[in-house]
């Protein structure tokens, strides 16, 4: 009896030691007063769970300041031995008495480990339009508190110390890591099955070459690290591992034009897929994950059992987390096969909008077509140096404007400056389309 008890204790100790062998897994704490003499401290706890394949770490973040408590699920991705990338999505399990919403995007970049502590190493978002978003929502009595938390997320130095261990709740682990049960997008695309032992890949900039820098890992192995995207698109033929292949695509900076718009192409069984930061679900993200399954055929007398893939469940809408992007088929045969890059989303309070188009560079014969909510309103529209106006009428709710390149002009890609005028407001956007990519603008008309 005593021998059995000792054996059980030894086995338990062995499993405990194995669970604690990963230096990232555990509970990490941080506390700081927002200013000298403040009565309240900002408290942060980051609980990091066991990694999947030693690469993807589920985590739960708790943030407290005075009356406020926020609890968020997020995904961390191993970049190297000393860095974990922070997912854009922070899914709110609880936010009370107000919401931080899109400001959670400011907590991005990587967690860097040094001397058994981890620090936040941000990629600063300083050219966005959401700095003031939500400040006066809920109740204005919380404006002061919100401002401190927004500034903390945006720029405060954060270094966490490990205070303990413990397992994450299974519900959080499954929601973050398992494509079959997730209801929000944490950066992992739905699995794609490959019959090929190797697949060609290439990396390019989805917008324009503006010194965007990226890193690509395959099952934890670096294919390249911190490479600037240029006109010499990186092309590779990647040999797949048997089973699951996780390709982690990191944005290392935001280039000269925020955000990073790096695009990873993969050709799988004759079909082309794109995984890109220009997709609105990945805007300002630190990383995205392409999940490719490869099962080599095996000769066996046993009955062959086909692999069971997790079912894709569409994400439930959430104010902070975007819907998961689809690895869209690309091609140059038809417009519907092109990648569609969302370049703006905003609200208006009028149905009548004026679009003003011009070629702000050199008039080189660019021609575009425009579709509103699935119906063509312009075809073969020549973009000229002089401003040309188009009046459109929006429906109530979401409206989708799709800009399609008819040609590339004499100087690819097809580019134009677009001004959107409504009442006394004006938005100025840059269009950049080609024969493999469309631009889309989403306008929400709320009277």
The residue out of 294, 311, 342 marking a domain boundary is: 294
pLDDT in tens, 153-189: 999 999 999 999 989 989 899 999 986 666 789 999 9
Do 440 and 389 reside in the same domain of the chain?
yes
Instruction: Give the domain extent around 122.
Output: 23-169
- pLDDT score of 20: 52
Do 184 and 153 reside in the same domain of the chain?
no
Domains identified in the chain, total number? 3
Do 164 and 288 reside in the same domain of the chain?
no
- At 417, the pLDDT band (50, 70, 90 cuts) reads confident
The residue out of 245, 265, 294 marking a domain boundary is: 294
Residue 319 lies in a domain: no
Residue 13 lies in a domain: no
Looking at every residue in the chain, the average pLDDT score rounds to 83
Q: What's the chain look like in SS3?
A: CHHHHHHHHHHHHHHHHHHHCCCCCEEEEEEECCCCCCCCCEEEEEEECCCECCCEEEEEEEEEECCEEEEEEEEEEEEECCEEEECCCCEEEEEECCCCHHHHHHCCCEEEEECCEEEEECCCCCCCCCCCCCCCCCCHHHHHHHHHHHHHHHHCCCEEEEEECCCCCHHHHHHHHCCCCCCCCCCECCCEEECCCEEEEEEEECCCCCCCEEEEEECCEEEEEEEECCCCCEEEEEECCCEEEEEEEEECCCCCCCCCCEEEEEEECCEEEEEECCCHHHCCCCEEEEEEEECCCCCCCCCCCCCCCCCCCCCCCCCCCCCCCCCEECCCCCHHHCEEEEEEEEEECCCEEEEEEECCCCCCCCEEEEEECCEEEEEEEECCCCCEEEEEECCCEEEEEEEEECCCCCCCCEEEEEEEEECCEEEEEEEEEECCEEEEEEEEECC
Mean pLDDT of 272-298: 89
Residue 310 lies in a domain: no
- pLDDT score of 273: 92
Q: Please say if the pLDDT value at position 333 is more than 50.
A: no
Do 151 and 183 reside in the same domain of the chain?
no
pTM for the full predicted model? 0.66
Residue 328 lies in a domain: no
Residue 309 lies in a domain: no
Least confident stretch, 3-17, 271-285, 286-300, 362-376: 3-17
- pLDDT score of 317: 38
pLDDT in tens, 374-395: 888 888 888 887 888 888 999 9
Do 182 and 164 reside in the same domain of the chain?
no
């Amino acid at each position: 009896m005593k021998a059995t008890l000792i054996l059980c204790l030894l086995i338990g100790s062995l499993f405990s030691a194995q669970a604690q062998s990963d230096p990232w897994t555990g509970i990490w704490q941080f506390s700081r007063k927002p200013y000298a003499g403040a009565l309240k401290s900002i408290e942060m706890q980051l609980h990091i769970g066991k990694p999947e394949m030693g690469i993807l770490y589920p985590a739960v973040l708790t943030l407290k300041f005075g009356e406020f408590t926020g609890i968020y699920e997020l995904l961390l991705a191993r970049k190297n031995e000393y860095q974990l990338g922070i997912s854009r999505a922070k899914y709110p399990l609880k936010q009370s008495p107000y919401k931080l919403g899109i400001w959670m995007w400011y907590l991005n970049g990587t967690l860097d480990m040094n001397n058994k502590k981890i620090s936040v190493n941000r990629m600063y978002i300083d050219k966005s339009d959401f700095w003031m978003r939500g400040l006066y929502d809920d109740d204005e009595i919380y404006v002061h508190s919100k401002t401190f938390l927004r500034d903390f997320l945006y720029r405060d130095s954060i270094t966490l110390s490990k205070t303990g261990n413990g397992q994450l709740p299974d519900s959080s682990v499954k929601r973050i890591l398992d494509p079959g049960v997730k209801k929000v997008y944490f950066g992992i695309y739905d699995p794609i099955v490959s019959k090929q032992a190797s697949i060609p890949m290439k990396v390019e900039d989805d917008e324009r070459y503006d010194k965007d820098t990226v890193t690509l890992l395959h099952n934890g192995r670096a294919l390249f690290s911190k490479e600037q995207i240029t006109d010499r698109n990186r092309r590779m033929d990647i040999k797949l591992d048997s089973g699951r292949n996780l390709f982690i695509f990191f944005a290392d900076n935001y280039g000269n034009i925020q955000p990073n718009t790096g695009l990873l192409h993969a050709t799988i069984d004759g079909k082309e897929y794109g995984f890109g930061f220009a997709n609105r679900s990945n805007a300002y993200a630190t990383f995205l994950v392409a999940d490719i399954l490869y099962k080599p055929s095996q000769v066996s007398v046993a009955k062959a059992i086909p692999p069971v893939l997790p079912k894709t469940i569409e994400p439930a809408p959430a104010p902070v987390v975007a819907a998961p992007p689809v690895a869209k088929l690309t091609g140059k045969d038809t417009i519907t096969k092109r990648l569609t890059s969302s370049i703006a989303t905003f609200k208006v309070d009028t149905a009548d909008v004026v679009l003003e188009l011009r070629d702000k560079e050199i008039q080189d014969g660019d021609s575009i077509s425009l579709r509103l909510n699935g119906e063509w309103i312009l075809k073969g529209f020549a973009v000229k140096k002089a401003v040309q106006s188009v009046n459109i009428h929006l429906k109530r709710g979401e409206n989708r404007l799709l800009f399609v390149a008819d040609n590339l002009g004499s100087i690819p890609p097809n580019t134009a400056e677009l001004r959107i005028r409504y009442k006394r407001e004006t938005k100025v956007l840059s269009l950049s389309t080609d024969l493999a990519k469309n631009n889309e603008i989403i306008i929400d008309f709320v009277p």
